[in-house]
Structure 1
Amino acid sequence: MGGKKRIPSPDQLRDYNYAVAGHAGTLCDADGELFIKPCTQTEIDFYQAVETNGYRDFADIMPLYMGELQLTPADVPIQEALMGVIASDGNFKTTKEQIAATIAEVVDQTTWVPTQGKKIKTDKSVVLENATYGYKKANILDVKLGRRLWADDAPAEKKERFDVISSQTTHGKLGFRISGMRVYQGSEDESTLDEEGYKIYDKDFGRVTVNDENVVDAFRKFVFNKAAGIHKALGKAVCSAFVRDLQRIEDVLTSHETRMYSASLLFIFEGEGVSLDAAIEMNNEILDRQSAESYTCPPVSRSNMSLDSRMDSGIALEADDDYDFEADDEDDDELRLPQIYTLKLIDFAHANFTPGQGPDENILLGVRSLLRIFKEMAAEDD
């Protein structure tokens, strides 16, 4: 940050399809640092419950919550409505810090009513830190969790439809399904890549192509990619990093009493090998100059690139290619680590804390299955 922000115009705001799967209509701010997602009151309530009730460990596995944004009336273009937040004093707020400081002033108190299966119409959005911000070429994987996918208030038709999906996919046995993924240089056939060089796997990949027998191969497509410079050792390091975070998520979910339906895990890592190597080296260079306490995580092992200590994936480095560490010695509080990988629990439209009901074994089934798969990939022979 630190003066590098530009005031966004409506034309600078862009549509953002979050994690490839099922998040149409979301927006980012001009710099891509904030993620603005239309949502129901239930999702807002869950984020606020985590914030206000002191669930610090739970907050750590979720996207950083900035607050709620109340959309303006329909006659105002949505791009203009989302280009900033208007505070009560009439001043227009556009930077991340300003939005964080004033977002509470536009909280709407309207009670949400279940839609009984109809398409949700909402004027509410949740404002989050964009988990993909700071990556050069982010590989993104959205995995929907659970064997049961419907909440108690879902109509019978929806319950039946979701039960069919569960029985016909990896949901039934493994407790998860790949909703979609996006892999940089994920194919040697350039005709199958998009304009940015990504291979896109849509929702049909997880519903039709992936099954209990080939599911590990599907995850290998996400991680191991020679064409992008993600060689076997580097891919195994990424898998080991995800193993540690999956263990953390399992611990948190086991220690809390919740019920979540159709929540997902969002996996992200730097998908271009040269950039991934450079990010690891830059982390080490920075951490060599600063105390471990300043960054809350120890350096990555240079000897084997094993990511053998968990890194705080929410930390990003705002730096150009010609970043000068010497010039920024006086601004250490603005120096942030480059992105290597991120794993977050997302999508809380049907999520609640449920004291007295025990941990959510429905969602934990999927987390534990994913943990076994990533352990298997991390241990594969070179």
Structure 2
Amino acid sequence: MGGKKRIPTPDQLRDYNYAVAGHAGTLCDADGELFIKPCTQTEIDFYQAVETQGFRAFADIMPIYMGELRLSNPEEVPLDDALMGVIAGNGDFKTSKEQIAATIAEHVAKATPDTASDQTTWVPTQGKKIKTDKSVVLENASFGYKKANILDVKLGVRLWADDAPAEKKKRFDTITSQTTHGNLGFRISGMRVYQGSEDESTWDEEGYQIYDKDFGRLTVNEDNVVDAFRKFIFNKAAGVDQDLGRAVCSAFVRDLQRVEQVLASHETRMYSSSLLFIFEGDGDALASAIEKNNEIIERDSAEAYTCPPVSRTNMRLDNRMDSGIVLEDEDDYEDVDEDEDEDDLQLPQIYTLKLIDFAHANFTPGLGPDENILTGVRSLLRIFKELAGEDD
């Protein structure tokens, strides 16, 4: 990428008052580095609390928050100055002013502002996006990978918030009883794996094998759950062999330990939040990224130069080389010149782990840590330690 990307500040984002898809799609910049997610006010409040109320430890395990946007008429949006691209409902990327305006008009027509939840009548969304006039602007955690493998794991034994309608509670309790939520505290919501099978007929047009929500609901159980994660990590067809896979699993173990630490030291309640696992799915690109990362760290160490903070979409750091991925402490980065060219200093993408989805999340002083969600995190830790070949 030539030059630095143009990322608006949170204040600029609020001033722009973008038109954002509330039902049929999502907004992003032309480079794909920003992700704009339709959401509820509760989710906005949670992100803002992390930024402003002393909960900064959460920022390390969440996507980077850049601001909020409101849905508006496309005629009121400064498309030339602010909007760089929009994804239509069919997945097509629109970049011209006329295409963007037409797509936003479609979104506006289909979206309605949030209303108070109906305590007597509840209709499942069946996977459709929520209708809302609000959105959060986040870092796109999958940006920068050649072939990103992505896994969404929904956390919790109980999936419903206190104010959920009775029908929703009943339906979600059924899902818990019929899936790994019940005993493990999580469920695989879906995943995509680059060349995830030696049978090319199972790939999509981009070479991915897709596992939809029914995989985690109907196929995965306590007996085969470890094998399900093994399908995500180890992939002979894509060149992710045993050594590379174990290195990735060890990296995820360290980040899961950090997630557990943060959640155990804060008082929250989260329902239907997820952990998003991403890593480079092309084996050659993965090996090259690890090698380049290690070369940069070793070179800078030899030169008595401290590397700058990597993007939060990159690795967590802890001075260990046992996985083959060199990781350092963030404290070592304090004296770096922030004016250095980010493109020269950015380490290659290897893996990402982020806690996401806060539509039903709150900080709850006095109630203690959220053991409901911690159950799932600890189960995942055990699984990834097993896959990494680590002893407890």
* TM-score grouping bracket, smaller chain normalisation: 0.7 to 0.9
Tell me if structure 2 keeps the 8 A contact 1:43–1:349: yes
**C-alpha distance in 1 between matches for 2:48 and 2:341:** 31
Partner of 1:295: 309
Residue by residue over 1:186-244, the C-alpha shift from the partner in whole angstroms, topping out at 9 and shown as x without a partner, is: 01111110011000000000000000110000000000001111000110111110000
Tell me if structure 2 keeps the 8 A contact 1:283–1:299: no
Alignment of 1:230-245 (within 5 A): 230-245=240-255
Report the CA distance between 1:71 and its aligned residue. 2.1
Report the CA distance between 1:59 and its aligned residue. 0.7
**C-alpha distance in 1 between matches for 2:280 and 2:366:** 40
Q: Which AA in structure 1 matches 2:205?
A: E
**C-alpha distance in 1 between matches for 2:319 and 2:296:** 9
Overall identity of the aligned pairs, in %: 72
What TM-score, normalized to structure 1? 0.77
Partner of 2:206: 196
Report how many residues are paired.
324
2:143 maps to which of 120, 133, 143: 133
Q: Which AA in structure 2 matches 1:244?
A: R
Q: CA RMSD in A?
A: 3.0
Residue by residue over 1:128-183, the C-alpha shift from the partner in whole angstroms, topping out at 9 and shown as x without a partner, is: 00000110000000000001001111110110000000000000010000000000
2:377 aligned with 1:367, yes or no? yes
Tell me if structure 2 keeps the 8 A contact 1:264–1:347: yes
Report the CA distance between 1:254 and its aligned residue. 0.2
1:286 maps to which of 283, 290, 296: 296
Q: Which AA in structure 2 matches 1:115?
A: S
**C-alpha distance in 1 between matches for 2:246 and 2:24:** 32
Partner of 1:338: 348
Give the SS at the match of 1:27.
coil
Q: Structure 1: where are the runs of 5+ without partners?
A: 8-14, 17-22, 86-110, 313-329
Alignment of 1:31-180 (within 5 A): 31-73=31-73, 83=83, 113-116=115-118, 117=122, 120-180=130-190
Going from structure 1 to structure 2, the CA distance change for 1:79 and 1:375 (only over 3 Å counts) comes to: farther
**C-alpha distance in 1 between matches for 2:290 and 2:227:** 26
Report the CA distance between 1:300 and its aligned residue. 7.3
Give the SS at the match of 1:28.
coil
Partner of 2:324: 306
**C-alpha distance in 2 between matches for 1:78 and 1:191:** 45
Q: Which AA in structure 2 matches 1:146?
A: G
Partner of 1:347: 357
**C-alpha distance in 2 between matches for 1:24 and 1:57:** 33
2:368 maps to which of 323, 335, 358: 358
Tell me if structure 1 keeps the 8 A contact 2:294–2:326: no
Q: Which AA in structure 1 matches 2:56?
A: R
Report the CA distance between 1:311 and its aligned residue. 8.5
Tell me if structure 1 keeps the 8 A contact 2:297–2:307: no
Tell me if structure 1 keeps the 8 A contact 2:251–2:323: no
2:220 maps to which of 203, 210, 229: 210
Going from structure 1 to structure 2, the CA distance change for 1:243 and 1:195 (only over 3 Å counts) comes to: same
Going from structure 1 to structure 2, the CA distance change for 1:348 and 1:306 (only over 3 Å counts) comes to: same
Report the CA distance between 1:289 and its aligned residue. 3.9
Q: Which AA in structure 2 matches 1:309?
A: L
Q: Which AA in structure 2 matches 1:152?
A: D
Give the SS at the match of 1:35.
strand
Going from structure 1 to structure 2, the CA distance change for 1:133 and 1:226 (only over 3 Å counts) comes to: same
Tell me if structure 2 keeps the 8 A contact 1:280–1:300: no
Report the CA distance between 1:284 and its aligned residue. 2.1
Tell me if structure 1 keeps the 8 A contact 2:114–2:131: no
**C-alpha distance in 1 between matches for 2:37 and 2:291:** 34
Going from structure 1 to structure 2, the CA distance change for 1:82 and 1:261 (only over 3 Å counts) comes to: farther
Tell me if structure 2 keeps the 8 A contact 1:284–1:300: no
Tell me if structure 1 keeps the 8 A contact 2:114–2:133: no
What TM-score, normalized to structure 2? 0.76
Partner of 1:227: 237
Tell me if structure 2 keeps the 8 A contact 1:261–1:351: yes
Q: Structure 2: where are the runs of 5+ without partners?
A: 8-19, 86-112, 311-316, 331-338
Report the CA distance between 1:6 and its aligned residue. 8.6
**C-alpha distance in 1 between matches for 2:318 and 2:382:** 26
Give the SS at the match of 2:289.
helix
Residue by residue over 1:233-286, the C-alpha shift from the partner in whole angstroms, topping out at 9 and shown as x without a partner, is: 110111110000000000000000000000000000001110001111221232
Partner of 1:97: none
1:254 maps to which of 258, 261, 264: 264
Residue by residue over 1:72-108, the C-alpha shift from the partner in whole angstroms, topping out at 9 and shown as x without a partner, is: 22677999998259xxxxxxxxxxxxxxxxxxxxxxx
Q: Which AA in structure 2 matches 1:259?
A: R
Give the SS at the match of 1:141.
strand
